[in-house]
Amino acid sequence: MTPERWADVDRILNAALTREPHARAAFIADACAGDQALSDEVESLLAEEAVAADFLSVPAAALAEEIATDTSIIGRRFGPYTITSLLGAGGMGEVYRARDGQLDRDVAIKILPPIFTTHSDRLVRFEREAKILAALNHPHIGAIYGLEDVDGIPALVLELVEGPTLAERLSDGPLTTIEALTIARQITEALEAAHELGIVHRDLKPSNIKVTGSGAVKLLDFGLAKNADGGIAEPGSVADTRGGSAAPEPARSSPGAVLGTAAYMSPEQARGEVVDARTDLFSLGAVLYEVLTGRPAFTGATLPAIQHAILTDSPPSPRTVHRAVPIALDRVVMTLLAKEREARYRSATDLRHELVRIADTIAAGRSHGQLRRWRVAAVAGAVLAISLGIAALRWTTGVPAPPPAHDDYQQITHFADSATSPALSPDGRMLTFIRGASTFHTRGQIYLKMLPDGEPAALTADGANKMSPRFSPDSSQIAYTTVNGDFAWDTWVVPVRDGTPKLWLSNASGLSWLSETQILFSELGRGLHMKVVAADARREAVRAVYTPAHERDMAHRSYASPDHQWVLIAEMESPVWQQCRLVPIDGRSAGSRVGPEGQCTSAAWSADGTWMYFSSNSSGSFHIWRQRFPDGPPEQVTRGTDEEEGIALDPDGRSLLTSIGNRRSSIWMHDARGDREVSREGYAFVPGIPNSGTTQPLSVGDRSLFYLVRQGAVRFAGVGERAGELWMTDLKTNSRRSVLPGHRVISFDVSRDGSRIVFAALDERGASHIWLAPLDRPSAARQLAAIDADSPHFGAAGDIYFRGTEREGSFIYRLRENRAPQKAAEQNVLFFMTVSPDGAWLIAMVEAPDAASGRRGILAFPTAGGNPVQLCDNCEIDWTPSGASLVVRLTTEDRHAPGRTLVLPLEPGRALPRLPAQGIRSPADLVGLHVLRDIDGFVYPGDVAPVYVAARTTTNRNIYRVPLREPN
């Protein structure tokens, strides 16, 4: 760097420091006039104001002279190392090639220019980088061999990594998918190692990544890296997670400081906010985007323009730019580039698992393709004959044609979170969907998108759970279902253009139009019973179309055939999704099961009514199937590792739209050290309503943590997606073990002395039963009763309580040793939550006496008999592990605030506090109550503050267009 260049740096940096932090970025961009290298140099020195101040204390001319004499150090010895040539220089130091005279090898030596050796902050920073590298002994991180000091000049002795930087590789254009996956996985492994020690790189970019001739990747330059406390995390210290998955504590910089290179920095870096491991993941997303497309994710003529793009713009998906990018990898990149940290992968470990899965899927496909090509080449004539025979066989038997390749899918939405429940207007020109996590009902907003490439627009802005948007026959409005905490299912409508949502029909869900004046919808009766009815638009002339047999059966969704003679039903039984049903619309019979054997969550008809389509998990995970009306053999339309739910058929019958993606969940522990991830692989969660009530995952004293882990596909959607293998983590030693291997557990309770566990598990047909086992001998588990039951809890004196299901409804039962179950309360309950620590109260959700209002209530039933006590309208009740305090979880209608968890102290000898007579109906009812802890979200508090457990879930789904093969 020339003296003139350093004079420019000095001048701009000095002027920038006279301005407020928030105004510096814009000033630097203007002053550098598009010179990105100059801008980067100024920003690197501005990164910490103390360092910058020290820099300014050195005359620019002296600094320029010092750095301009690079050749003076050539030939100089630093311990056993002899400097041979200059490799590069920057704001963080100068790097030279040197020869190790003792071990006869070349190394890289990074020195701090002599002009800075008297500056304590710069020395501390230099030594910190040395310690960070020493802590990071990993094959994909450039190694450090030592720290030398010669004549007061400190020097880092580093591994010399030969080969081009990733930036140099990208000068020739994008890399192949396999190359991109290989590089991304190695970078992720390097970040995983750094994040395990609480270290955040903060400057991940192609020029800091080297790719050797053998394809090995090395992550370099930890000069901006920090951890939670600004130091190095020693084994066993606060930042040491050892699990490989926990995000470290945020690294804090000087207020207003912007660290990192502009085009790869995260939104939180651009705003000068705290950073954590997910900051590195955003930068990796920007790198991977460029690797796959050959162009940066965020661009601009000036630094403010780039920062504005990072903060406000979403780049087109990699697959939109380059069609060769696989769908799954496209989704990974867009998840990494989410503006909000919570929407990204939670850890490098999660990302690594996803990259490995994608690579394995691609490898399996390539192996299959290679084998198939070899066979074709070897027996071409035989294959031709066989192909003709298969074609003839398909003509006569209906064996399905191969499903469309994923490369043929067209991505319609490009959200970093989730888009579900697609529906098309009658002419196929408009798409509506829900931007929300669940494919059933979900907290989210109704969106409208003009096809093929219009900008999605939100039509609602509220916190309600929503389901099943449908267009009116004239496409002027969209009907959708809302579901509140009282399980009231209502139909709302919103105009397509410039309108406000309004309530149309109460107690009506899954509504669709049969014509301009006739509608089809589901109606809730007693308890949870739900039937399908038809009526006119004013809800007159109501007639039953399909009424399920049992009180806990719910027919949630209905799809009329084009000629309005038949209806496809997606229904639950207690409450498990069943195979879809085909019924006559006049209600003369209960019809028959159709589609593949398995659980069906949605359906559709072809425009001519000759084909029925289903979203079913018959093959082990949810995919699209079809069947010729009325009783042809089912054939699978889609395959792959992702799942497809929701079906919208194009009017021309050539394609369908569906939501493709998956969900992840993990268990996190919060204590005085911050947050850390406890679960490892799989979908980890704490069971809850409807199959479990309230679960206490922590043991007394907060020593052990219990949770469920689901691996692979869901066999029983509804109840089955809440089933898993029970695991226990010792929070003192971090050791983990499977507690009940072989059992598909949906709910459990551990005795307060830690000796026994009672649990509900699914049998082969999806029904659940109650089991009891010693915690130290799970193989001795025994089934307690044949009744279909869930939500088990220990009471006093050896009693076990659970919710049992009969034809008349659901009741709380008491089970005592060697006795048949007996009803513990005569009132029908919707959900059984828990038992008070003293065994005196049973907590349950019941339907209010005025069932027509749709209100529910949480009641405490005394086990000794007597009248129940009203606790709240819509909350969860629990106790801390020792039973010393009451836990109340309150829901909220604010979609940005999913709930609050309150801890209330108890008087000696009382299991309940003195609540208002009507219970807790709003936060105003808490006035006057002593609240020990008030925590955002639904969490599980421990006995000691600030301990609590939380389940964190991320979902990524988008709407895709899937081409349909010609029917056989």
Phi, psi values for residue 889, rounded to 5° = -110, 120
* 291: Cβ contacts below 8 Å, ≥ 6 apart: 166, 170, 174, 175, 179, 180, 183, 184, 206
Q: What is the amino acid identity at position 354? A: E
Cis? peptide before 946, omega within 30° of 0: yes
**Rounded CA separation 806/789 (Å):** 9
**Residue showing tokens 């071990």:** 103
- The number of beta carbons lying within 10 Å of the beta carbon of residue 636 is 16
Q: What is the amino acid identity at position 649? A: L
Reply yes or no on whether 894 is catalytic: no
* Assigned token pair, 263: 């085009």
Cα distances from 120 to residues 115, 282, 289, 859, in angstroms, run 12, 32, 39, 65
Phi, psi values for residue 634, rounded to 5° = -65, 145
Torsion-angle region of residue 256: left (phi > 0), alpha (psi -120 to 50) or beta? Answer: left
* Assigned token pair, 685: 């969660």
Q: Which of 8, 203, 330, 788 is catalytic?
A: 203
Please, are residues 42 and 219 in contact by the beta-carbon 8 Å criterion? no
**CB-side neighbour CA atoms (13 Å) of 362:** 20
* 457: Cβ contacts below 8 Å, ≥ 6 apart: 447, 448, 449
What b/e sequence results for 598-616 when a residue is b if at least 16 CB atoms lie within 10 Å of its CB, and e otherwise?
bbbbbbbbbeeeebbbbbb
Please, are residues 127 and 154 in contact by the beta-carbon 8 Å criterion? yes
**Which residues are 956's β-sheet partners?**
662
* 476: Cβ contacts below 8 Å, ≥ 6 apart: 495, 496, 497
Query: Going by DSSP bridges, is the β-strand pair 592-593/105-111 parallel, antiparallel, or unpaired?
Result: unpaired
How would you list the strands of the sheet with 885-890, edge to edge?
875-879, 885-890, 900-905, 933-936
Cα distances from 865 to residues 798, 832, 840, 958, in angstroms, run 18, 17, 10, 52
Please, are residues 210 and 142 in contact by the beta-carbon 8 Å criterion? yes
Closest CA to 91 of 164, 131, 141, 38: 38
Cα distances from 413 to residues 332, 336, 448, 455, 703, in angstroms, run 14, 16, 11, 9, 45
* Assigned token pair, 709: 């882990």
Closest CA to 316 of 325, 304, 307, 308: 325
List the catalytic residues: 203
